[in-house]
Each structure stands twice: as structure tokens, then as C-alpha cells.
């Protein structure tokens, strides 16, 4: 068996592939399936067998080995969560869909996995074979991409609602395993919280440097309130039990790189989307996925033109999916509840934008080395209190990513998010809690 010379496939993954496919004498091509900064939870490879005409390629996701990175990014928990989603949640969805003459097809198939630390891996069906590709991180989504994304999300959420109302005992069993959030916890690392707060403060300083108007002062008040409640507000958002029965098993990390699209043959019109990377799935309000994606991954002009229609399409698609299970949306997730949750949890989109925007606006060569950052965080934890904010701020400044090119983009996108938080009446909850 010969491989691509530039990438080495670990023996435990190689053995898993051999066990499944028995292709001992066939050459194998190994290619990177994601670039720098695209997946902090490991390396993603595409494996193919060029001499076998009917052999489809597969995608392999492998956990990082760096101990500091594994600890900082909770790698073991994330791989366990994703495998649980595929082997238990999605299996229950498929079974329910088959029983009612429906299909659950918004995710790739899981082929096999291994959860032995520190060599966790997951092997998936390669969606590229079916014509699905990722929208480049540097390319802002069009309205067509967003529509396909929210439709796929509605299908995912629809199965969660359907299972909840047709097999409540099974649903309860599943959410018991995902109700504890694996990102926002009371013990979240102080440096992670300070990183998000630093982006809000940067946005506020940018606004302070401008001519002060009533509008800019309102933006600054919202940012200041979000900064003050940056640790507590996400905990309020991810508390799914408080929203029951209007909560679902969410995607949890719903952003551009975790959505793959298929276009019409000989056309650039997007006709379908599939979802990947479920390592942060959680039990919470459905709107968390929506506001995360729309505020962190789209620009304000697109939202100005389409935000309400995106919400309509999501809710209408959800209604159609529920109807296929003989469920009426008025009894499951009424529009007034959906709209209220958008107002209550919209700020979650601002919080996720604060965490992710420096990465989203940066090119591969501008993104910090995650291993080095994780090691610095480990060293900080060994010498300082977890709540030592000045030390955390020093570390954040040391690994600054934004530069002359990206700062104006960061400002435009972050201020656009804050403007929309106000525009869609999502800021009020910040002042109430």
C-alpha cells in the first residue's frame, strides 16, 4: 500500500480502514480536507483509492495530540459528543423517519470511529462524492446559501421536535446525554471569556473614536452590557430545560465551515445543504443555531434585505417537516414562541461573533498557532489564578491576530451585528437579567 508522501496516516486509522475495506494491496491517496484554522479540533483528511473505480473516498477526522491543546479545547469530550450524536441521536432520527415514510439525510453517514485517547478518530462518508462542497471561509454566503442552510437546519430541528412528541421517553434518554453544555459552563476558562470580552471592548473603543451620536452611544451601551454579562448570559442561553418543550438538540456549532452545499448541475444555484461537525451539539432553544450563523457568518446588508424572509423560510420549512410526521407547528413550536426566543436569545449571536470574528476575517497565514496558544494558556494556569484577568489580557494581546487589513473588516461586521441586535429588539434581555 503506497500513500501520498506529504501526509502520514496514523497506524490506528490505517488499520481501521483495512479492517473495513480489506484493500491491503491498493494504493491510497491522502489529502488534506481542511486548511489552517478551519478545524481547531483536529486534522481532517480525504482518503481515496485511485485504482478502484467504484471505491468512494472517505473523510477522516483525527484528534490533535498536543496535550495542552487537548485540554484547552476539550478534545476528548467533543469527540465523544459527536460519536454519540451519530450513533444514538441520528440513529433514532433515521428510525423514526423510516417508520413514517420520511428520510433523515442532512448529515453524512458515520462509517466507524475510535475514542481511545489521545488517538480519537471518526471516519465519514465523503459528501464531495455526491457533489457537496464547502463555501470558502473568505467568501460571504449569498442569500441562496443561507436559504439552503436554514432549510437544512429546520430539518435537523424538526426531527428533534418529532422525536420529542412521538417518543418522549427515547427523547428524554437522549437529551440526558447532551443537556450539559460542553462549551459554556460555570467553570469555563477565564482566558476564553476574556478573549470574547476583549473583542467587545475593541469594538467599543472603535466606536468611541468616532463622532459621538445618539446611535453610537446606544451601540456602546449594548456592548458594555454584553461585556458585563459575558459569562452569565451564555449560561442562560444554553439552559435548554428552561425552554422545554420549545427546545431541541441543536447543532451547536452552526457556522459556514460546518455546512456543505450542492448546486444544480451546470448552474450555480444552490439546491441543497448538509451539516457536519456535531461535537458541540446541545439541548437548547433552536434559535441559538440561527443567530450564531446569521450574526457570525453573514454581513449586515444581506440581513437588512433578507433577515425576516430567512426567519419565515426556517419556520415554514420546520412546519412542513413536522407535518410529514402528522404534527402541527402551532402545537409544537408556534411562531410567537419562535419570535420571543429570537428576542430573548439574539444576543447569543453577538457573543459567538465576538469569539469567532477574529478567526473568520483572518487568512490562513494570519491565524495564531493553536498549539502554541494552548501551551501558553497551560503555563498561565500553572502560575496564576484562573480569575487573573490582567494576565489573561496580556496573553490575548501577545497572540493578537487582527492587523491593518482585518481591523476595518472586524469593525464593520461587529458593529453591524450590534446594530441588528438593536434593530430586531434583541438587546432588551441584556438589560433585564
Tens of pLDDT, residue by residue, the chain (433 residues):
444 446 889 999 999 999 999 998 899 999 999 865 567 888 999 999 999 989 999 999 999 999 999 999 999 999 999 999 999 999 999 999 999 999 999 999 999 999 999 999 999 999 999 999 999 888 899 999 999 999 999 999 999 999 999 999 999 999 999 999 999 999 999 999 999 999 999 999 999 999 899 999 999 999 999 999 999 999 999 999 999 999 999 999 999 999 999 999 888 899 999 999 999 999 999 999 999 999 999 999 999 999 999 999 999 999 999 999 999 999 999 999 999 999 999 999 999 999 999 999 999 889 999 999 999 999 887 776 656 778 899 999 999 999 999 999 999 999 999 999 999 999 999 999 8
Give me the number of domains the chain comprises: 1
The DSSP line for 305-349 is HHHHHHHHHHHHHHHHHHHTTT--HHHHS-HHHHHHHHHHHTHHH
What's residue 95's pLDDT? 98
Domain-embedded: residue 87: no
How many angstroms separate the CA atoms of 312 and 289, rounded? 15
Cα–Cα distance measured from residue 353 to residue 295, given in angstroms and rounded to the nearest whole number: 6
Q: What is the pTM of this model?
A: 0.95
Residue 91, domain member (yes or no):
no
Q: What was the pLDDT predicted at 151?
A: 98
- Please tell me the predicted confidence (pLDDT) of residue 384: 63
The Cα 252–Cα 7 span in angstroms is: 30
In this prediction, residue 353 carries a pLDDT of 98
C-alpha cell at 105: 439525510
Provide CB contacts within 8 A for 323, sequence distance 6+.
329
Query: Domain range for residue 180?
Result: 131-432
In a domain, 47, yes or no: no
310 in a structural domain: yes
Amino acid at each position: 500500500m503506497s500513500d501520498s508522501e506529504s501526509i502520514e496516516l496514523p497506524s490506528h486509522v490505517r488499520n481501521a480502514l483495512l479492517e473495513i475495506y480489506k484493500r491491503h494491496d491498493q494504493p491510497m491517496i491522502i489529502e488534506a480536507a481542511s486548511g489552517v484554522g478551519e478545524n481547531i479540533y483536529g486534522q481532517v483528511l480525504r482518503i481515496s483509492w485511485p485504482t478502484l473505480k467504484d471505491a468512494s473516498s472517505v473523510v477522516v477526522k483525527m484528534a490533535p495530540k498536543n496535550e495542552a491543546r487537548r485540554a484547552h479545547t476539550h478534545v476528548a469530550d467533543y469527540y465523544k459528543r459527536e460519536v454519540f450524536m451519530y450513533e444514538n441521536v441520528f440513529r433514532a432520527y433515521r428510525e423514526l423517519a423510516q417508520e413514517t415514510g420520511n428520510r433523515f439525510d442532512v448529515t453524512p453517514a458515520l462509517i466507524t470511529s475510535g475514542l481511545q485517547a489521545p488517538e480519537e478518530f471518526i471516519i465519514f462518508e465523503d459528501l464531495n462524492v455526491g457533489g457537496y462542497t464547502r463555501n470558502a471561509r473568505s467568501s460571504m454566503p449569498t442569500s441562496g446559501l443561507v436559504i439552503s442552510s436554514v432549510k437544512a437546519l429546520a430539518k435537523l430541528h424538526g426531527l428533534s421536535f418529532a422525536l420529542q412528541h412521538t417518543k418522549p421517553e427515547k427523547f428524554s434518554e437522549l437529551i440526558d446525554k447532551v443537556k450539559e453544555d460542553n462549551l459554556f459552563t460555570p467553570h469555563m476558562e477565564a482566558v476564553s471569556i476574556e478573549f470574547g470580552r476583549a473583542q467587545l471592548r475593541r469594538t467599543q473603543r472603535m466606536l468611541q473614536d468616532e463622532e459621538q451620536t445618539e446611535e453610537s452611544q446606544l451601540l456602546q451601551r449594548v456592548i458594555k452590557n454584553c461585556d458585563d454579562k459575558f459569562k452569565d448570559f451564555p449560561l442562560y442561553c444554553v439552559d435548554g430545560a428552561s425552554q422545554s418543550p420549545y427546545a431541541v438538540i441543536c447543532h451547536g456549532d452552526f457556522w459556514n465551515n460546518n455546512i456543505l452545499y450542492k448546486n444544480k448541475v451546470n448552474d450555480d444555484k444552490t439546491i441543497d445543504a448538509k451539516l457536519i461537525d456535531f461535537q458541540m451539539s446541545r439541548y437548547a432553544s433552536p434559535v441559538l443555531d440561527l443567530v450564531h450563523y446569521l450574526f457570525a457568518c453573514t454581513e449586515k446588508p444581506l440581513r437588512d434585505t433578507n433577515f425576516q424572509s430567512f426567519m419565515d423560510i426556517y419556520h415554514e420549512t420546520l412546519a412542513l417537516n413536522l407535518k410529514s410526521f402528522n404534527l402541527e407547528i402551532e402545537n409544537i413550536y408556534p411562531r410567537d414562541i419562535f419570535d420571543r426566543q429570537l428576542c430573548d436569545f439574539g444576543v447569543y449571536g453577538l457573543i459567538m461573533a465576538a469569539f469567532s470574528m477574529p478567526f473568520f476575517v483572518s487568512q490562513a497565514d494570519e491565524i495564531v498557532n493553536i498549539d502554541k496558544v494552548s501551551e501558553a494558556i497551560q503555563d498561565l494556569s500553572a502560575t496564576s489564578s484562573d480569575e487573573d484577568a490582567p494576565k489573561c489580557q496580556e496573553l490575548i494581546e501577545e497572540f493578537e491576530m487582527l492587523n491593518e487589513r482585518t481591523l476595518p473588516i472586524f469593525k464593520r461586521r461587529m458593529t453591524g451585528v450590534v446594530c441588528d441586535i438593536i434593530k430586531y429588539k434583541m438587546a432588551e434581555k441584556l438589560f433585564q437579567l
